[in-house]
Chain A
């Protein structure tokens, strides 16, 4: 039995975006993440899928400590990441690193690649033989050592992302968040980055939280998948199981919307659910189940009561009234 490395328990993150009311004192909040619970296991790639505005990046940013959660906890190997009001200790920061979506804006254009990769080493006081370490990190991501004298804008998009990966790995983390690491890149380069990430994972026994909106890509990299919709997780399952047997109507809609390139995939794709409606604004989430306005199998209860997560099969949980049942104890 593998152990969990990172556990999210009823995580909530609300943002106040303005005030309303006569005295301008009633906050208008966006519930970016509203009660998210799942656990990432040691050494696995956990996929987090959702459309824009579903809160997947907020989950990532809260995990690395950019935000404090409004409620709920995130624990790393049993240790709460937000103990009291203290800032996170360096030793804990070192363990959780992130690779951002767009390497064009996550790398400082005025710093050389040597400085970019060397900075975390310096901050974490691991800078004995810093130059050697930078060379080692560059080699790790299959870039030639002389790249350290270049600046980000001098190299291609794929190579920039490799630099960002090297920077994330500089502190020798055990958990890496990959926030859409290939969505800013061309398909022809994507494969190289993905295979590099898989190799590094095996080599250093890393655990990944892989955020993406590309389900086809997810099928090939993740061992388990969680689907988010408007700040809530609506389905969690093993990847293979998820693609063969999706339960939640939103998941089914997603799966039938993917453009595919071969006949075999076409057979796998669900044809029955046609995508309708707009994604509601996260400021004004509909009552009850947030998906009910677009749902083809909507019932009366859906507009009133928010469903809870139920376990349908071993390791496969769904948050939908169609499947009723008791809530899962995380």
Chain B
């Protein structure tokens, strides 16, 4: 028997009904990851990164969101068809998520301890109640893990009393307290300063290494992906346009979008910045036919305006959805 993939998304569509029509955000997303992998997901603001991840956890607000087509499997079980109680097992114990802005992710009117202990209480004890004492001990342990000093006092403090870096550590501690198999980190450092971001990412890397947790890292900072992940998905306007092993992607980006993105990053070595990619992400009410990137693509051909490219496998660890590589 083969071990089922940790996450498998097949041909996922997500639409949002809004005033004025239907936003066709995800447009046939395919995504797979094995257990133990660290996968990066990069793309511009509004390309559907967070929507995809929220679909996995089924936390998209429905309505306005609809999933007209597609399947999502977590360890072989279809998440979209799960019962509420099974889903409860997936959330927290199976999959945890860290959000971009720790200030918004923590409730300002409950103390860190109340929030952290609630998480432990609800997701870590199926089949046997934990005593208060135990929950408290675990809460302290999880704060110690994220290198926060004086956890006793921290449990009694409120999010507003902590700095941004500490809040994000609390969120990481909370996400890992349930011992998830998969951690989804949605731009975990973006709202932090460079030196603090570096600390938080280093801590995150160390913890997932120790616990052998699988990670999906969502970001638009290419440098962070390069330093953290094994494999990268590049997303554009609701499509996965390229997937490759991290090293391979950074040395041989193939899709015109990926190449544009790489060129646009200012380099420490100097030499000026490129003009980037002209235009902007399409309007999802009325996305362009064919390849959604063609209006911005410097190498667009006739076929790109008519047909949507499927994913072409160029090597064991490199796939690209572009007619140039047909």
Establish whether residues B268 and A269, one from each chain, have CB atoms under 8 Å apart when the complex forms.
Answer: yes
0/1 string, B222-234, CB within 8 A of A gives 1: 1110110000000
Q: A191-B273, A220-B266, A258-B268 are in contact. List 8 more A-B contacts (CB 8 A).
A: A187-B264, A192-B275, A216-B266, A219-B269, A253-B195, A259-B227, A261-B262, A275-B196
Given contacts A52-B193, A220-B271, contact A278 B261 (CB under 8 A): no
CB distance from B47 to the nearest CB of A (A): 9
Whether B45 is near chain A, meaning CB under 8 Å from some CB there, is yes
Check A293 for interface membership: any CB of B closer than 8 A: no
Interchain CA distance A326-B155 in the complex, whole Å: 48
Please give me the 10 A-B residue pairs with the lowest Cβ-Cβ distance, nearest first: A259-B223, A191-B276, A257-B198, A51-B193, A275-B195, A188-B277, A265-B268, A217-B266, A216-B266, A191-B273
B285 within 8 A of A: no
Interface status of A276 (Cβ within 8 A of chain B): yes
A269 to B196, CA, bound (A): 17
Q: Pick from A192, A254, A259, A279: contact of B163, CB below 8 A.
A: A279
Residue in chain B with minimal CB distance to A268: B268
Query: Which residues of A lie under 8 Å from residue B273 when comparing CB positions?
Result: 190-191, 194-195, 217, 220-221
Q: Which residue of B lies closest to A159 (CB)?
A: B280
Choice from A191, A217, A221, A254 contacting B274 with Cβ under 8 Å: A191
B275 touches A215 (CB 8 A): no
Main secondary structure of the interface of A (DSSP, over half): helix
Interface digits, B255-272 against A, CB 8 Å rule (1 contact, 0 not)? 000001111111111111
Say how far B293's CB is from chain A's closest CB, in angstroms.
11
Chain A residues within 8 Å of B227, by CB:
259-260
Tell me if B197 counts as interface (CB < 8 A to partner A): yes
A13-53 with Cβ < 8 A to chain B:
51-52
A interface residue numbers (CB < 8 A to B): 51-52, 156-158, 186-192, 194-195, 213-217, 219-221, 239-240, 243, 253-254, 256-262, 264-265, 268-269, 274-276, 278-279, 281
For residue A187, which residues in chain B have a CB less than 8 angstroms away from its CB? 44, 220, 222, 261, 264-265, 276
CB of B125 closer than 8 Å to a CB of A: no
Which of B196, B202, B224, B273 has the largest number of chain A CB atoms within 10 A?
Answer: B273
A213, A240, A243: the one contacting B193 at CB < 8 Å is A213
CB contacts (< 8 Å) of B264 on chain A: these are: 187-188, 190-191
Asked if A275 and B198 make an inter-chain contact with CB atoms under 8 angstroms apart, the answer reads yes
Known: A217-B266, A217-B273. A258 touches B261 (CB 8 A): no
From residue B272, how far is it (CB to closest CB) to chain A in Å? Answer: 6
B266–A219 touching, CB < 8 Å:
yes
| Residue contact A278 to B222, C-beta cutoff 8 Å | no
A275 touching B199 in the complex, CB below 8 Å, given contacts A191-B264, A194-B273, A268-B269 = yes
Q: Please state if B193 and A261 are interface contacts (CB–CB under 8 Å).
A: no
Query: CB-defined interface of B178-222 with A at 8 Å, one 1/0 digit per residue?
Result: 000000000000000111111101100000000000000000111
Find out whether the CB atom of A186 lies under 8 angstroms from the CB atom of B220: yes
Scoring B224, B250, B270 by chain A CB atoms within 10 A of each residue's CB, the highest score goes to B270
Given known contacts A215-B194, A219-B266, A254-B195, is B276 in contact with A190 (CB within 8 Å)? yes
Residues of chain B within 8 A (CB-CB) of A221 are 273
Docked pose: A189 CA to B68 CA in angstroms: 33
- Within 8 Å CB of B272, what residues of A? 195, 220
Shortest distance in angstroms between A189's beta carbon and chain B's nearest beta carbon?
6
A244 to B234, CA, bound (A): 33
Report the separation of the CA atoms of residues A190 and B221 in the bound assembly, to the nearest whole angstrom: 13
User: Which residue on B lies nearest to A253, using beta carbons?
Assistant: B195
Query: With A51-B193, A216-B267 in contact, is A260–B199 under 8 Å at CB?
Result: no
Interface residues of B in 102-131 (CB under 8 A from A): none
Which residues of A sit under 8 angstroms from B268, Cβ to Cβ? Answer: 215-216, 219, 243, 258, 260, 265, 268-269
Specify which chain A residues have a CB less than 8 angstroms from the CB of B226 in the assembled complex.
259-261
> Contacts of A262 on B, CB cut-off 8 Å?
250, 267, 269
What are 13 of the A-B contact pairs (CB < 8 Å)? A192-B276, A215-B268, A216-B266, A217-B266, A219-B266, A219-B268, A256-B198, A259-B201, A260-B268, A261-B222, A268-B268, A276-B199, A281-B163
A158 touches B223 (CB 8 A): no
Residues of B within 8 Å of A191, CB to CB, are: 263-264, 266, 273-276
Bound Cα distance A220, B274 (Å): 10
Decide yes or no whether B278 CB sits under 8 A from chain A.
yes
Residues of chain B within 8 A (CB-CB) of A269 are: 268
Question: Measured between alpha carbons, how far is A274 from B201 in the docked complex, in Å?
Answer: 12
Please, how many angstroms separate the alpha-carbon atoms of A214 and B273 in the complex? Answer: 13
Which residues of chain B from 138 to 152 have any CB-CB distance to chain A below 8 Å in the complex? none
CB-CB contacts below 8 Å: B32-69 with A: 44-45
B194 contact set on A, CB distance < 8 A: 51, 213, 215, 254, 257-258
Which chain A residues lie closer than 8 Å to B201 at the CB level?
259
CB of A259 within 8 A of CB of B224, answer yes
Contacts of B223 in A (CB 8 A): 258-261
B-chain residues with CB within 8 Å of residue A195 when the two chains form the complex: 272-273, 275
B165 part of interface (Cβ distance < 8 Å): yes
Give which listed residue, B165, B198, B224, B261, contacts A188 with CB less than 8 A. Answer: B261
B166 within 8 A of partner (CB): yes
Q: Which residues of B contact A52 (CB under 8 A)?
A: 193
A22 to chain B, nearest CB (A): 25
Q: A278 near B163 (CB under 8 angstroms)? A: yes
User: CA–CA, A188 to B273, complex, Å?
Assistant: 11
Q: What residues of B have a CB within 8 angstroms of the CB of A190 in the complex?
A: 264, 266, 273, 276
Contact of B165 among A186, A220, A260, A278 (CB under 8 A): A278
Do B276 and A51 touch across chains, with their CB atoms under 8 A apart? no
